[in-house]
Amino acid sequence: MDCNWRYRAIIGLLCATHIVLVKNFVDSVKYESEIQNSDESVNEHASDNGMCAEKNVIRNKSFGTFKNMDSHDNAFGKITINRVGDDCRRDVERGKAKSRRYTANGGNETEEIIENSLAAMCAKADEKGRNERIDGLNNDTRFQILFKSTLNFRNCLKDLFKWFCAYLINGQNMDTNESIKIISRSSTTRASHVAARSCESRNAYCLENYTHEIFKFHRLSQEQIEQFIETYISFYNDHAPEHSIVDKLFLRSPSRIKERHAHLAALRTLNIRNIKRRDRYAFVPILQCTEIISVILSVLSLFNTVIAYHTRIRGRKTPLHNLYTTQYYISCVTWVGSILLHIDDNRFTRFCDYFSALLGIMYYFYTATVRLLLSFKVSNVKEVTTHLFNLLALVYISVVHHNISNFDPKALKFVSGIFIFLFLTAILIQSVFFHNRYIKYVVFFTIIGLMAESSDIEPFCFVLDSHAMWHLFIGIQNFYYNRYLEEEISLMGGDR
């Protein structure tokens, strides 16, 4: 219940941000129209003054005076054009010298031509300087208006970011009075035992009524369950956690460290089957990593992806070059998310891993489908792929939106399994008509990895579990999939 109002608050803040953004956009449009109207009035005023200046120059036959417009007021303030006046005065002085020279030759007609040319020159310089000044002022004014109009929106983004960071930090800590329900699922009996934090002692456990399911037992006797409860409570109350740099980096609270230590210590002391705490098995922390084997395998898969792309795929131009490049970046993000999750399982790393993995699987399916359509030379392939992309984007956004408020790893795995099946189907159809020797390896290791993941085997020696085996087989599959892409690029005529 505590999480629901937080997620509702997130949605409310997003809606409020959207409203502020629309309001600021409308204000910006209104300000732009005002600027445009002001520009027109300034230009009209400037053109009138320019005509007056030209008449003044032509009317004065002696070239002795030139009346310069010092300044005028408009919607943006006072615009000065002294620089333009100085240029015109220099032109007038040159005109005087030329006029004296031509007049000495006795040419009244020549004097009139010089006078008209000089007037046109001054008017042109006057207009050019005025336009430069007005354009510069308009650009500065537009920037100021845009900066001020988006001030509220930027403040909302800052507040939202601060609140989200605080939400992630608070989400790592258990409530001081949170109850813990321990469920036993035996082949003969269905017994329930309860352990909860005592209200009297903030960091101590005692037996009380439950409200949340925390531990799940499978095929354990009543006596084993009671022994585990007592041992777990004892280790939790007696353990004093030590905070390392990694703990602070991943926002590990003292209560979380104590829970993990008590979970592992109780299982080792009683030498019983590994049980799940918050749907996670107990692991031995090595190098501050919760699941060190999965971390190592994810790092190796990341290196394999980077090396294969830069040595076998990059620079080879094909119709799917952009798709393969995007797929490469998504794969890198997916492996990084997996590394973070297995270093420490918290709200943020869980979202990074599950959502990026789903995105990668869906994009693999999309890329394979586009390749299949191009192979069969579908006439309207661009229209079909656009609709397919929009549909997949809608599905992805819907799944992510639902799981942000109600995170369900089983549902995410189910959706991912569907798209893995569709991906394998697409490349198998491709192999029927266009042979690729690496497809069989991709399909085989994908199926083996899915079987290992679905087996849900408890960790061997609290280190190696079924999920680590999934990473092992998917890492091998990733190696052959990069070889598969290399051969596909060769079939499409991609040269190095």
Give the per-residue pLDDT at 84: 46
Find the mean pLDDT for residues 60-88: 42
Helix (H, G, I), strand (E, B) or coil at 345: coil
Please state whether beta strands 179-185 and 213-218 pair in parallel, antiparallel, or not at all (unpaired).
parallel
Ramachandran bin of 219, using left for φ above 0, alpha for ψ from -120 to 50, beta for the remaining angles = left
pTM of this structure: 0.60
**To the nearest whole percent, how much of the chain has pLDDT over 90?**
23
Give the per-residue pLDDT at 240: 72
pLDDT-based confidence at residue 232 (cuts at 50, 70, 90): confident
User: What is the Cα–Cα distance from 126 to 408, expressed in whole angstroms?
Assistant: 71
| 40 vs 191, higher pLDDT | 40
Q: Is the pLDDT of residue 446 over 90?
A: yes
Find the mean pLDDT for residues 373-400: 88
DSSP annotation of 280: B
| Cα 368-373-378 angle, rounded to 5 deg | 170
Q: Is the pLDDT of residue 431 over 80?
A: yes
pLDDT in tens, 263-277: 888 888 888 777 887
CATH class of 292-491: mainly alpha
| 156 vs 250, higher pLDDT | 250
Give the per-residue pLDDT at 34: 54
Find the mean pLDDT for residues 12-32: 55
Give the per-residue pLDDT at 380: 84
| 181 vs 22, higher pLDDT | 22
Find the mean pLDDT for residues 447-471: 89
Domain boundaries, the chain: 35-149, 175-277, 292-491
Report CA-CA distances (Å) from 183 to 209, 402, 410: 13, 27, 19
